[in-house]
């Protein structure tokens, strides 16, 4: 029996809709396509907080420059340090949240990366392990065939990212269940 043509016009995806901010993905092999979801909501809040604290520190520096006397320089510098230290920390954490993935949906399964020590405490769930998927509030529950349900918190993501993640995981699990892949 001849093999089907994988590059026919019927099997290739249509052009990407304009305005989505993505390029056409036809040149990427299917095995390497993945969806990465970052902690973009938490990252935006932390970055904005860091910028606000940096502006407060700059304001203290500019307004209090002439008022410092040689006898009492400590309070102004203490207030600036109290604003500048957390500003740097918030900016660092905000950029880290925006840059690194929290959940990755790959052709093999779902990869969950925690915020602290992601290389050591990463969790990986294959598609064949999942029986069903449901969403309760701001949590995505993966019901595994060989164990209890796994809950993924979606609070750190924007509502659009949450909906996209839930849709992607549901469709993949539904497609595998319909094809009976991995079943004896």
Q: Domain containing 65: what range?
A: 42-98
Q: Which of 41, 46, 6, 43 is nearest to 26 (CA)?
A: 6
Q: Is residue 166 part of a domain?
A: yes
Give the bridge partners for 101, in sequence order. 38
106 and 172 in one domain?
Answer: yes
Number of folded domains in the chain? 2
110 and 157 in one domain?
Answer: yes
Pick the last residue of a domain from 74, 98, 122: 98
Q: What local confidence, expressed as pLDDT, does residue 167 receive?
A: 87
Residues 62-69, mean pLDDT to the nearest whole number: 62
83 and 105 in one domain?
Answer: no
Instruction: Pick the more confident residue, 143 or 12.
Output: 143
pLDDT, one tens digit per residue, over 15-29 is 545 544 455 556 666
122 and 65 in one domain?
Answer: no
pLDDT, one tens digit per residue, over 94-135 is 988 888 888 888 888 888 887 777 778 888 888 888 888 888
φ/ψ of 150, rounded to 5, equals: -110, 130
Q: Is residue 160 part of a domain?
A: yes
Kindly report the CATH number assigned to the domain that includes residue 121.
2.30.29.30
3-state helix, strand, coil split of the chain in percent (to 5) is 45, 20, 40
113 and 74 in one domain?
Answer: no
Answer whether residue 14 shows pLDDT above 60: no
158 and 133 in one domain?
Answer: yes
108 and 65 in one domain?
Answer: no
**HSE on the CB side for 57, CA within 13 Å?**
17
The secondary structure element, H or E, covering residue 105 is strand 101-105
Output the six-digit token pair for 72.
């009492």
The pLDDT confidence band at residue 75, using thresholds 50, 70 and 90, is low
d(CA 103, CA 87): 27
d(CA 98, CA 38): 6
Q: Is residue 80 part of a domain?
A: yes
Q: Is residue 130 part of a domain?
A: yes
């Amino acid at each position: 029996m001849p093999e089907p043509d994988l590059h026919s016009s019927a099997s290739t995806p249509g052009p990407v809709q304009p305005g989505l901010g993505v390029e056409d993905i036809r040149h990427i092999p299917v095995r390497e396509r993945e969806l990465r979801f970052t902690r973009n909501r938490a990252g935006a809040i932390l970055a904005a907080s860091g910028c606000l604290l940096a502006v407060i520190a700059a304001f203290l520096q500019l307004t209090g420059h002439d008022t410092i006397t040689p006898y009492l320089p400590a309070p102004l510098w203490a207030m600036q340090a109290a604003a500048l230290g957390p500003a740097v920390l918030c900016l660092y954490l905000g950029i880290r949240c925006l840059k690194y993935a929290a959940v990755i949906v790959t052709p093999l399964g779902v990869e969950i990366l925690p915020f602290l020590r992601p290389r050591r405490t990463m969790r990986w769930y294959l598609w064949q392990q999942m029986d069903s998927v449901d969403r309760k509030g701001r949590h995505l529950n993966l019901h595994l065939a060989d164990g209890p349900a796994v809950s993924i918190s979606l609070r750190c993501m924007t509502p659009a990212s949450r909906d996209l993640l839930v849709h992607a995981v549901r469709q993949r699990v539904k497609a595998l269940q319909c094809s009976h892949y991995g079943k004896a």
